Amino acid sequence: MKPRTHWDIFCNVVDNYGDIGVCWRLARQLAGEHQLTVRLWVDDLASFAKLAPELDPKRASQNLNEVEIRHWVAPFPDTAPAEVVIEAFACTLPENYIAAMAGQSPKPLWINLEYLSAEPWVGDYHGLPSPHPSLALTKYFFFPGFSQHSGGLIREAGLAAARDAFQNDTEAQAAWWRGLGVTPQPGTLKLSLFAYPHAPIAPLLAAWADSPTPILCCVPETPLSAAVAAALGTAALTPGQGIRRGNLTLLGLPFLSQPAYDRLLWACDLNFVRGEDSFVRAQWAARPLIWNIYPQLDAVHQEKLEAFLALYCRAAPETLALAELWRAWNGLSAELSNQLAAAWPAFAASLPALSRHARRWAEGLARQTDLAAQLVKFSQKPL
Ligand code: TRH
């Protein structure tokens, strides 16, 4: 079969940065590594520009990293569909675009890229077709995930090599920290902090201030910065600002570009992450992580969190303290949330073992075929 080389990705920025974070990584990888012609339609260029500062949010059309970026506006202009159409996270394609797809021969391959979940049912649904109710079109469900029965995870070629080169290069790391305006003293525990503003930060800040080990906590600017400042009783935590409390130094950072954020994850000993994309990137950093899951109605997120923990902690007794801290951090146990500060010293003591575990986990995951490669393989199958 002739390869399908023209791809359209549609991204609706619901809230936050995860939708565009995932779509942008995928678009870059499909274009850069698989030599595909990729058009990325995004309805909120201002959010996009936060992760990719080279982007001009005022331009309706532009090229960046070999990807054609188009502002997705309503009404949607009449457009010839690509051969592969990725509808990210069930974002609902424009009606006239769907009608144009139905008019094509052969029909485009229509893929709904789903949210990431470690739940076991993912493997049963991954790749399933769903015929359109009225048009001669079929949509296929593509589930990222952690098992070989899923669509895998976004992982660029060379990611592990670039990470290892950086993590093994003391001078490169020192230069990176100097670029942020700090020189962490040897033995400092370096943290990055990205979470939803409702996360129970106050008890952890108290525990870190009392820590026998010096702690440097880097906080990229998001609504959490205000929550941190409030917990410290100060007006704000702004980019470039440093605040001392006991043995804790908080460092406000600007919201970083995606590559710079990756580097921050590689440089820190422990990363607090959230949602979907930073959660995956922290796993690729091969360092311990604490996940603030995106909250959903009816506590659906609780099952998602437990499903991931079941995989991550399997046969790894050193992860017990981590699982408890994750539940507390996500408010899934009121009792534990009240004990966050008390739980910190035991967790901190298990960090060396957790670091070894995080590396083994990343190496295991890297044996899966990555998501972009799986999508390309899927697109090569005859329909
Ligand atoms: O922003 P998020 O909370 O996104 C969420 C999730 O994707 C969630 O599943 C989805 O339902 C919801 O959006 C609508 O967290 P996430 O997924 O980690 O995305 C953040 C992105 O921002 C990620 O690509 C990393 C990037 N980032 C930077 O580029 N620079 C930064 O300084 C920071 C803190 C993040």
Q: Known catalytic residue: 276?
A: yes
Q: Residue range 348-370: average pLDDT?
A: 97
Q: Tell me the whole-structure pTM to 2 decimals.
A: 0.97
**Closest ligand 1 atom to the C-alpha of 50?**
29
| Spatial strand order in the sheet of 270-274 | 242-245, 248-253, 215-220, 189-193, 270-274, 289-292
**Residue 154's closest CA among 287, 19, 17, 22?**
22
Q: pLDDT tens digits for 9-26?
A: 999 999 899 999 999 999
Q: Is 8 a catalytic residue?
A: no
pLDDT in tens, 242-262: 999 999 999 999 999 999 999
* The pLDDT of residue 334 is above 70: no
Q: Which one, of 129, 122, 124, lies nearest residue 146 by Cα?
A: 122
pLDDT at 2 over 80: no
Question: What is the Cα–Cα distance from 61 to 120, expressed in whole angstroms?
Answer: 40
To which residue do tokens 């159409």 refer?
Answer: 85
Provide the terminal-to-terminal Cα distance of the chain, rounded to the nearest Å.
10
Q: Is the pLDDT of residue 66 over 70?
A: yes
Q: What is the pLDDT of residues 95-106, one digit of tens each?
A: 999 999 999 999
Tell whether ligand 1 has an atom less than 6 A from the beta carbon of residue 263.
Answer: no
**Confidence at residue 37, expressed as pLDDT on a 0 to 100 scale:** 98
Q: Ligand 1 atom 16: the closest Cα is on which residue? A: 18
User: Which is the catalytic residue, given 8, 43, 87, 276?
Assistant: 276
Identify which of 346, 344, 348, 354 has the alpha carbon closest to the alpha carbon of residue 286.
Answer: 354
CA of residue 132 to ligand 1 center, whole Å: 31
329, 332, 350: which is closest to 340 by C-alpha?
Answer: 329
In short, whether 370's Cβ falls inside 6 Å of ligand 1 is no
- Sorted by sequence, the CB contacts under 8 Å of residue 266 that are 6+ apart come out as 163, 166, 167, 285, 287
Question: What's the gap in Å between 19 CA and the centre of ligand 1?
Answer: 7
Q: Other CB atoms closer than 10 Å to residue 45's CB: what's the count?
A: 21
The per-residue pLDDT for 121 is 96
Counting atoms of ligand 1 from 1, which one is nearest the CA of 22?
24
Kindly report which listed range (157-161, 226-230, 238-242, 379-383) carries the lowest average pLDDT score: 379-383
